[in-house]
Amino acid sequence: MFRASLIILFLLFYTNLHSQNVDIVKVDSELIISDFIEKYDISSNDFFILNPSFTESRFNHSIQNLNSKIYVGTDIRILKNIAKNNEEISFISHKIKRNQSLNEISIIYGLNKEFILKYNPNVEIKKNNTLRIPRSAQFNKLPENNLKRYDVKPKEGKWRIAYKYGVSIKFLEEINPEMGDVLQIGQLIAVPNKEAIELNLLEDNKSYFELQKTIPISVLEKNLGLKKNSIIKLNPRILNDKLKKGIIIKVPASTETYKDVINLSFKSLEENIIDFSNRKFAIILPFRLENIDYDSINKSIPILKNDKLLNISLDFLFGAEMAVKSYSNLGIDVEMDVFDSALDKKQIDKIIFENNFDEYDFIIGPLTNNLFDYLVSSTENQNIKIVKPLGKKQNPNKRIINTIPNDSILFNKIISHVKNDSIPSLKYIISDSKSLDISDKLKKIFPDSKQFYSKLNDSGIDTKTLVYDDLDSTFVKGKNIVFLETKEQGFVSNVSSILNSFVNDTIEIVLVSTNKNNAFEGVNISNNFLSNLKFQYASTNKKINIIKDKFFIDKFIAEYNYYPNKYVLRAHDLVYDLLLRLSNGNLNDYNVHEIETQYLENKFKYKLSSSGSIDNTGVFMMKHEDLNINELIDK
C-alpha cells in the first residue's frame, strides 16, 4: 500500500512539475502585490522568489512588501501551471437575486470574491444575471508554494540539482536568473518545493545524459545501443513515450554518447572531481616593485595609477585570488605563490634559482612574450607545465599550455558557422589592400562569392573607402552574407554605412568578419549599423552577464571595491579551470582536454598540437543585436 501511494505521489508531482514554466505578465493597471497574487492565484512565497526586486531578501518578505505597489508596464514573472489551466472544472449556475451582493454570494458558497469574478469576468452583479460557480472547494484554497529555498552543497552544480529535483537545467536557470554559470557552496537558489522522499537519487556508477531534442524513448534506446525498456527501468518516473528536450535521464555508465545527448557526467569539471589532493601553483607578474618609492608614497600614487602593467598585474592577481577562494570552497586546499618578474631576465633567473619548481602543479606567466619564452628556455630540463595567460602568439613547447586560441581557430569557427547556415544566401567579400590574402582565401572556400576592394587613388594609394555605386544592384532579395576584412576603422565605418542603406523588408544583409579587431569598435563605428547588419564574429571571450553573474560581481566589489574588468575575469576563469582540470585527472589527460568549459567571460577546450603543446580551441560566436552583443549559439 505504501509503495502504491508513493508511486501515485511521484506521478502526480512529475506531471505537475513538467507542465510548469515561467511566464511574464505585463501589468496593465496599478495594483498592490497582495492583489496581484490573489488575481493570478499564486503564493506570496513564489511571487517574491521569482521577483526579488520587490523585497530585500528573496526568500523572506514582510506585510509591508505585500502592500508595495506594482506600476503599469512592470514585467512580473510567475510560475504558470499549464495542466491546472487546462483542467476541466465543473460549475453550478447561480441566478442573482434582487439586491444580492457579490459578498453575500461568496459567503453562500464559501468562495473568495476574486475567485468568483475570475470565472465570470464579463458578468455584472445584478438581478437575474447568472454566475458560474466552481463546484470543487479545492479551487478556493490558498495557493501552495511551488518553490523553496535551497543551499548549494559541496560538489553540487546545476545538473545535479536539476536531476535531483526532476527539472531541466533550463527550468532551474529560469527560476534563478542570477545564479551564474558556477555555483558556490552556500549559495541560495530556488528549487521545486519537494520533500526528501520525492527527490531523484544520484548513483556514482551511472551516467547522466541531457537530451538535446525531443525524441521517442525507443529511438533513443536504439541510438544509444541500449536494450528495450532499459531507460524506463532506470527512470521509472518517465510517463511519456517521448522524452522532451532538456530532460535529464540516468543511463548505464558504459553508455556511449550520441549527437542527441550530452553526457553531463563529463561536462562539469566541478561535479566530477576524482582527486582531492592539495594543489600549489605560482604566478609571475610584472609588478616592478623596485620602482615604488615607499618613503614618498604620496608622490608615487599618481605614478602607480597610470602604470598600466602594474594595474594589469593587480587585476590578474585579484582574479586569481577569487578563483582560489572558489576552488577552496570545494573542499580542496590550494596554495598560490606570487612572484614579481620586474620585466627583467635577471629577476627570472633569481626566481628559478631560489625556488623548487617541482613543487608546483603549474606556473602562470610571465605576461610578456619575451620573458615567457625566456622562462621556458631556462627551465627546459624541468618537467613543469607553464601556462601562457595572454597573447595569441603560441609557444609550441610540449610543456606549454597556450590559453588564447590563435587566429586560425577564430577563422575556422566563423567559416564553419557560415557553412552550417541552413538558410540559402549569396556571399560577398569586401577587403582593403592589406587583406587581399584573406579575401582570396575566402574566395577559394566560397567560389561563388563576389569580391570587392577598397578604392585606389591615382597614385595607387588605398583610400580605404567604397562608394554607394560600387555595391548598387548587388544584393538580392533574401539573405546576403558579407565578409568584411580590414584593420582600418575608417573602412569599417564607410562600408557598414553603405551596407546599412541597402537593408530593407526584402533584403537581409548579415555582416561577418574572420578577424574582428579594434577597427570594429572605434568611436566612428555606428552600433546601430552593426545591429542592423547583425554583425557576427568569433571571439576568445564574451562580456560578463551582469544579471546572471551578479553573485560573483557583488562578491568581488565587496572584497576589492571596484568592478571586475577583463583581466580580473580572465585570471579567475583561467586559474579556476586549470585547478578543476587537475582535480579531474591531470593536465596531460586527453579526456580532460576534450571537456569544454565556460565561466564568466572565457571558454576552454584543449587540444594537443602536433608539437606537443596543449592549445585552447574554445571560442564564442558573437552577434550584434538590438544594440547589444550576445553569444550566438549554433543550432
Residue 475: CB atoms within 10 A of its CB come to: 20
**Strand, helix or coil for residue 118:** helix
**Strand, helix or coil for residue 253:** coil
The pLDDT of residue 38 is 84
Judged against a pLDDT cut of 80, whether residue 617 lies above it is answered with: yes
417-421: average pLDDT? 92
Is 570:543 a contact under the CB 8 Å cutoff? no
Render pLDDT for 319-348 as a digit per residue (tens, 0 to 9): 999 999 999 988 889 999 999 999 999 999
Residue 110: CB atoms within 10 A of its CB come to: 8
Mean pLDDT of the chain: 86
The span from the CA of 475 to the CA of 478, in Å, is 9
More confident residue, 262 or 534: 534
The pLDDT of residue 586 is 84
More confident residue, 92 or 347: 347
pLDDT band at 2 (very low <50, low <70, confident <90, very high): very low
| CATH 3.20.20, applies to 408-539 | no
pLDDT band at 141 (very low <50, low <70, confident <90, very high): low
Judged against a pLDDT cut of 50, whether residue 7 lies above it is answered with: no
Strand spans (E) along 374-522: 386-388, 400-402, 425-431, 450-453, 478-485, 507-513
The pLDDT of residue 18 is 45
Antiparallel, parallel or unpaired: β 597-598 and 425-431: unpaired
The pLDDT of residue 362 is 97
The span from the CA of 300 to the CA of 310, in Å, is 13
The span from the CA of 322 to the CA of 571, in Å, is 9
Judged against a pLDDT cut of 90, whether residue 503 lies above it is answered with: yes
The span from the CA of 507 to the CA of 428, in Å, is 14
| Residue (of 408, 414, 464) closest to 434 by Cα position | 464
Long-range contacts of 335-338 (CB under 8 A, 24+ apart): 335/278, 335/279, 335/280, 335/281, 336/280, 336/281, 336/282, 336/283, 337/280, 337/281, 337/282, 337/283, 338/282, 338/283, 338/285
Judged against a pLDDT cut of 70, whether residue 399 lies above it is answered with: yes
Residue 471: CB atoms within 10 A of its CB come to: 20
The pLDDT of residue 612 is 92
242-261: average pLDDT? 83
Helix or strand holding residue 536 (H, E): strand 536-539
224-230: average pLDDT? 86
Are domains 90-135 and 279-405+568-607 of this chain identical in fold? Answer: no
pLDDT band at 511 (very low <50, low <70, confident <90, very high): very high
Q: Which of 232-236, 517-521, 561-565 has the lowest mean pLDDT?
A: 232-236
CATH architecture of 279-405+568-607: 3-Layer(aba) Sandwich (3.40)
Show the 3-state SS of 202-217.
CCCCEEEEEECCCEEH
pLDDT band at 91 (very low <50, low <70, confident <90, very high): confident
The pLDDT of residue 178 is 85
The pLDDT of residue 84 is 42
The span from the CA of 582 to the CA of 469, in Å, is 58
The pLDDT of residue 81 is 57
Cell numbers standing for residue 167 = 527539472
**Strand, helix or coil for residue 41:** coil
50-54: average pLDDT? 93
Helix or strand holding residue 4 (H, E): helix 2-17
Q: What is the dihedral of CA 45, 48, 51, 52, to 10 degrees?
A: -140
Strand spans (E) along 341-397: 362-364, 386-388
Cell numbers standing for residue 566 = 577583463
Does the pTM exceed 0.85?
Answer: no
More confident residue, 183 or 520: 520
The pLDDT of residue 295 is 53
Judged against a pLDDT cut of 90, whether residue 110 lies above it is answered with: no
Could you say which DSSP state residue 121 is in?
Answer: T
Query: Domain 90-135 maps to which CATH number in 3.10.350.10, 3.30.420.10, 3.40.1390.20, 3.40.50.800?
Result: 3.10.350.10
The pLDDT of residue 136 is 60
201-229: average pLDDT? 86
Single-letter amino acid code for the residue at 12: L
Judged against a pLDDT cut of 70, whether residue 266 lies above it is answered with: no
The pLDDT of residue 49 is 94
Q: Beta partners for 77?
A: 24
Each domain of the chain, given as residue ranges in start order, spans: 21-85, 90-135, 279-405+568-607, 408-539
The pair phi, psi for residue 282, each rounded to 5°, is: -130, 150
Judged against a pLDDT cut of 90, whether residue 302 lies above it is answered with: no
pLDDT band at 300 (very low <50, low <70, confident <90, very high): low
Judged against a pLDDT cut of 50, whether residue 3 lies above it is answered with: no
pLDDT band at 108 (very low <50, low <70, confident <90, very high): confident
Strand spans (E) along 115-195: 130-134, 147-151, 188-192
Q: Which of 71-80, 267-276, 444-453 has the lowest mean pLDDT?
A: 267-276
Is 288:343 a contact under the CB 8 Å cutoff? yes
- Which segments of 74-216 does DSSP mark as H helices, in order? 82-86, 102-109, 113-118, 158-164, 169-175
Is 451:429 a contact under the CB 8 Å cutoff? yes
pLDDT band at 111 (very low <50, low <70, confident <90, very high): confident
Q: How far is CA 110 from the centre of its chain?
A: 48
Radius of gyration of the chain measured on its C-alpha atoms: 30
Is 180:598 a contact under the CB 8 Å cutoff? no
The span from the CA of 589 to the CA of 602, in Å, is 21
88-95: average pLDDT? 78
- Match 620586474 to its residue by C-alpha cell: 342
The pLDDT of residue 592 is 83
pLDDT band at 76 (very low <50, low <70, confident <90, very high): very high
